[in-house]
């Protein structure tokens, strides 16, 4: 997770940019760099490794200038080299970037065909080159950035600096966070308020799709449609910025909205620089030597295993057994040296998952864990701890950890498929290209929040709610029901769609909303038949589908929420958004404590 900072200052900016980068170093430290405007020209210093290296290079050759941008990098596209370090400069433009540009390869080919020469392997450089091209065609910096943004696909936050324009800095966000800081005769940009804390506590958080044009006198913000946007300036208590909710009412809302950004990192972490193959994590099992996988976790993390079971079985043809940790540990299941065991835990402290891990140690041939908290007990005790890259999750109900667990599992399933000879190099590249759409599609699904909030107003009046799904949507139905129960205290159950007529259909009447997760996939028609069985009995169906699914079903459903069309590997990640937001808004309607629901704890360290 890269960190960005920018200062339009009244005095030398490089030392303060370095200070801001130190506060952002937690976001990555593969390399760092600063660009300033010195006498109207762009000058840069970049160094590989931790900030100390950049500090040294600045000591050896200080950077003057009253305007500058800085970056601390967590490498995605391109190795951690000086050439790949940000800022990237093309002609009169310098840019720093946090996120991933999905369509960088076709853009780079197009720019190369037009004569552009690239100095790095990064996706970021296409942004600088594109912007420089628009400037060369006579556009102003603001017009050039707007035209550049219109060509980019992906999730990102950006800061631009322009040679010859000492009083202009432009920021933009789509999917990744970016804040504007207000000083006295100075203005700032930063990945978070923490980076800006020593300079100002007066912060404007940019919203999805915003572009901010800064001068020393202030900022003008434009929304995704290019209209002037009025974004509130808030005073953030400097002591509290570490756990700041940003523009959100709750940590849960913030964490749900962070998903496009963190998913990009979770995906990239397990892929090669060109994003065309899965990078084998050091010490990872050779899945070709495994006869069976056993996956163990609790709650939401268990549902991530449930989705993963479908993926490993279909993509890699490995039999997978899943179990909740509290059952697994006492059942004393037989485990052999040909088994691989995977434990999943956001906190890395869940007592049952830890006990299950200890049970398989010495029995399973391969043991690994997917964890979010790197220093946790499960991370330390497992042979191999794979990070899920979700960043700190504060809300008790898990959201971004779930989708990041899925992102890591998707990569591992493809890797296993390759190792076991079921996935060719060509298929791997095409599966990864499909996965790369996840951050953008999740950002688009988040754009459907008003529809989900409207549906939640009706759900909040229900006493019982059923969730249905088939295939990999079945665990999503379970996750949707869990989220609704824990956040709104409404009774909810998730069922495999086909199981409904074996009992639960007796519950159906006009008072029980039935939420059906049904992308237009191979099992769509079957799920829709089950939906009709519900409607024939007076049940009210909230259908969550895509445009093709909605067209197929027509008018019958009580409500329909339309998500973007997604590859089957991306769909479970995408449908997590309505599972989360329907519960979140229902809880808001009911006035429950969203971030700390009653009776729960973030780390369940007792059995």
Residues labelled catalytic: 2, 602
3-state class of 509 per DSSP? Answer: coil
Contact region for ligand F6R (CB under 6 A) — 167-175, 298-306, 416-424, 513-521? 298-306
Question: No. of H helices and E strands in the chain?
Answer: 21, 25
Closest contact distance (angstroms) between CB of 554 and ligand F6R is 35
Closest contact distance (angstroms) between CB of 71 and ligand F6R is 32
DSSP codes joined into one string, 54-88: HHHHHHHS----SEEEEEEE--SSS-S-TTTSSPE
Rounded Cα–Cα distance for residues 344 and 303 (Å): 10
Scanning residues 463 to 502, which ones bind ligand F6R (CB under 6 A)?
482, 486
Closest contact distance (angstroms) between CB of 467 and ligand F6R is 14
Closest contact distance (angstroms) between CB of 170 and ligand F6R is 38
Rounded Cα–Cα distance for residues 161 and 67 (Å): 8
When asked if residue 588 is in the footprint of ligand F6R (CB under 6 A), the reply is no
Contact region for ligand F6R (CB under 6 A) — 17-25, 101-109, 121-129, 299-307? 299-307
When asked if residue 296 is in the footprint of ligand F6R (CB under 6 A), the reply is no
Peptide bond into 573 cis (omega under 30): no
Return the residue matching tokens 């296993």.
416
Closest CA to 141 of 128, 152, 122: 128
Out of 149, 252, 298, 379, name the contact with ligand F6R by CB under 6 A: 298
Scanning residues 329 to 388, which ones bind ligand F6R (CB under 6 A)?
345-347, 350, 353
Closest contact distance (angstroms) between CB of 582 and ligand F6R is 14
Q: Which is nearer to ligand F6R, 472 or 604 (CB)?
A: 604
Contact region for ligand F6R (CB under 6 A) — 212-220, 295-303, 356-364, 507-515? 295-303
Closest contact distance (angstroms) between CB of 363 and ligand F6R is 21
CA atoms within 13 A on the CB side of 181: 27
- Residue 429 has phi, psi (to 5 degrees) of -60, -40
Q: Which is nearer to ligand F6R, 425 or 600 (CB)?
A: 600
Out of 67, 278, 301, 468, name the contact with ligand F6R by CB under 6 A: 301
Closest CA to 133 of 155, 153, 154, 118: 118
Q: Which is nearer to ligand F6R, 36 or 345 (CB)?
A: 345
3-state class of 474 per DSSP? Answer: helix
Count of chain residues binding ligand F6R (CB under 6 A): 14
CA dist 325 to 282, 344, 359, 368, 531, Å?
26, 10, 11, 15, 33
Closest contact distance (angstroms) between CB of 125 and ligand F6R is 38
Q: Which is nearer to ligand F6R, 72 or 346 (CB)?
A: 346
Rounded Cα–Cα distance for residues 38 and 64 (Å): 6
- Contact 41/63 with Cβ under 8 angstroms? no
Closest contact distance (angstroms) between CB of 2 and ligand F6R is 26
Q: Which is nearer to ligand F6R, 95 or 294 (CB)?
A: 294
Q: Which is nearer to ligand F6R, 305 or 557 (CB)?
A: 305
- Contact 267/123 with Cβ under 8 angstroms? no
Give just the sign of the alpha carbon dihedral 377, 379, 380, 383.
positive
SS3 of 159-193: EEEECCCCCCEEEEEEECCCEEEECCCCEEEECCH
What is the pairing mode between strands 234-235 and 202-205?
antiparallel
Q: Which is nearer to ligand F6R, 4 or 367 (CB)?
A: 367
When asked if residue 299 is in the footprint of ligand F6R (CB under 6 A), the reply is yes
Q: Which is nearer to ligand F6R, 166 or 352 (CB)?
A: 352
Contact region for ligand F6R (CB under 6 A) — 107-115, 133-141, 293-301, 529-537? 293-301
Closest contact distance (angstroms) between CB of 345 and ligand F6R is 3
Query: Which residue has the CB atom at the shortest distance from ligand F6R?
Result: 299
Q: Which is nearer to ligand F6R, 300 or 411 (CB)?
A: 300
Torsion of CA 531, 534, 536, 541, to 10 degrees: -70
Region for residue 364 given its phi and psi (left: phi exceeds 0; alpha: psi -120 to 50; beta: otherwise): beta
When asked if residue 253 is in the footprint of ligand F6R (CB under 6 A), the reply is no
Site string for ligand F6R, 260-279 (x = CB under 6 A): --------------------
When asked if residue 133 is in the footprint of ligand F6R (CB under 6 A), the reply is no
Q: Where are the beta strands (DSSP E) in 290-374?
A: 292-297, 320-324, 339-345, 366-371
Out of 76, 204, 300, 366, name the contact with ligand F6R by CB under 6 A: 300
Scanning residues 396 to 425, which ones bind ligand F6R (CB under 6 A)?
397-398
Footprint on this chain of ligand F6R (rule: CB under 6 A):
298-301, 345-347, 350, 353, 397-398, 482, 486, 604
């Amino acid at each position: 997770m890269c960190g960005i900072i920018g200062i339009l200052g009244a005095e030398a900016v490089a030392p303060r940019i370095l200070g801001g980068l130190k506060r952002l170093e937690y976001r990555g430290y593969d390399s760092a760099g600063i660009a300033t405007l010195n006498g109207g020209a762009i000058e840069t210093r970049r160094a590989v490794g931790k900030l100390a290296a950049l500090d040294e290079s600045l000591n050896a050759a200080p950077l003057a200038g009253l305007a500058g941008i800085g970056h601390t990098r967590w490498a995605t596209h391109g190795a951690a080299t000086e050439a790949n370090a940000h800022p990237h400069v093309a002609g009169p433009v310098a840019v720093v970037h946090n996120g991933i540009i999905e369509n960088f390869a076709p853009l780079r080919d197009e720019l190369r065909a037009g004569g552009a020469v690239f100095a790095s392997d990064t996706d970021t450089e296409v942004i600088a080159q594109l912007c420089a091209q628009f400037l060369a065609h006579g556009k102003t910096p603001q017009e050039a950035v707007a035209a550049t943004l219109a060509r980019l696909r992906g999730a990102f936050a950006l800061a631009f600096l322009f040679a010859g324009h000492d009083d202009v800095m432009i920021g933009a966000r789509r999917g990744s966070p970016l804040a504007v800081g207000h000083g006295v005769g100075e203005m700032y940009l930063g990945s978070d308020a923490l980076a800006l804390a020593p300079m100002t506590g007066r912060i404007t958080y940019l919203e999805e799709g915003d572009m901010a044009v800064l001068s020393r006198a202030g900022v003008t913000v434009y929304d995704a449609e290019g209209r002037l946007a009025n974004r509130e300036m808030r005073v953030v208590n400097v002591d509290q910025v570490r756990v700041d909710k940003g523009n959100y009412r709750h940590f849960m809302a913030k964490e749900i909205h962070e998903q496009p950004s963190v998913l990009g990192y979770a995906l990239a972490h397990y892929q090669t620089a060109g994003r065309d193959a899965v990078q084998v994590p050091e010490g990872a099992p050779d899945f070709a030597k495994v006869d069976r996988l056993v996956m163990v976790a609790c709650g939401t993390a268990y549902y991530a295993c449930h989705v993963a079971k479908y993926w490993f079985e279909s993509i890699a043809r490995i039999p997978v057994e899943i179990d909740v940790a509290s059952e697994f540990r006492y059942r004393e299941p037989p485990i052999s040296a040909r088994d691989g065991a995977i434990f999943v835990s956001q906190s890395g402290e869940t007592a049952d998952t830890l006990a299950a891990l200890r049970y398989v140690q010495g029995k399973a041939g391969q043991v690994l864990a997917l964890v979010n908290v790197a220093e946790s007990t499960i991370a330390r005790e497992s042979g191999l701890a794979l990070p899920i890259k979700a960043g700190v999750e504060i809300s008790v109900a898990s959201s971004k950890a779930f989708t990041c667990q899925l992102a890591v599992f998707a990569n591992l399933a493809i890797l296993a498929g390759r190792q076991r000879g079921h996935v060719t190099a060509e298929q791997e590249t095409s599966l990864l290209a499909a996965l790369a759409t996840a951050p953008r599609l999740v950002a688009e699904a988040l754009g459907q929040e008003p529809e989900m909030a409207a549906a939640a107003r009706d759900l909040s009046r229900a006493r019982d709610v059923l969730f249905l799904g088939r295939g990999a949507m079945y665990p999503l139905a379970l996750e949707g029901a869990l989220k609704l129960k824990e956040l709104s205290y409404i009774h909810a159950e998730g069922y495999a769609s086909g199981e409904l007529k074996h009992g639960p259909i007796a519950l159906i009447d006009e008072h029980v909303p039935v939420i059906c997760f049904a992308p237009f996939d191979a099992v769509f028609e079957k799920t829709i038949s089950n939906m009709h069985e519900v409607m024939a009995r007076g049940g009210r169906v909230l259908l969550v589908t895509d445009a093709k699914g909605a067209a197929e079903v027509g008018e019958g459903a009580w409500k329909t929420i339309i998500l973007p069309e997604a590859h089957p590997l991306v769909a479970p990640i995408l449908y997590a958004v309505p599972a989360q937001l329907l519960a979140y808004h229902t809880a808001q309607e009911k006035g429950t404590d969203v971030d700390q629901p009653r009776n729960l704890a973030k780390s369940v360290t007792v059995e």
